[in-house]
Amino acid sequence: MFIDFIKSVYYEILSYFAVEKVKYEVQGNCKKCGKCCKQIHSYGMKNEKDLKIMQFFLPHYKRFYINGKDENGNITLSCIYLKDNGECSIYEKRPRLCRNYPARIINFNGEMIQECGYKVVKKEFKDYL
């Protein structure tokens, strides 16, 4: 389990330096509901200890707290700066992680929260031919 967590930290760091990334088309518009800030999925983080380690290596994760678990046993996170109306209380000073949401270039199978105004259009191999 600890090995999986170390791998997730490693891949998170590598994602900033990846030479080749898969492009998915992201369509839609923000509904300004804040659900993306309430249902942040973590891959490879299973408990509070894992989150603390991630926060040590990547300080921008200090803004998140655990709000539950997904169907795979990974913790789900929420942002401490989210207001009750779904708006960000530090919108003008939000980190790059938030400014870039939803990422136009991602290196994993992209998905969005079901109620989100954005959706990911996955391309098949034939689409590139």
What would the pLDDT profile of 11-63 be if each residue is shown by its tens digit? 777 766 655 555 677 888 888 888 889 888 777 788 999 999 889 988 888 99
State how far the Cα of 32 lies from the Cα of 28, in Å rounded to an integer: 12
Can you give the pTM of this predicted structure? 0.68
Question: Is the pLDDT reported for residue 118 higher than 70?
Answer: yes
What would the pLDDT profile of 76-107 be if each residue is shown by its tens digit? 899 999 999 889 999 999 888 788 888 765 55
Token digits for 98? 């938030």
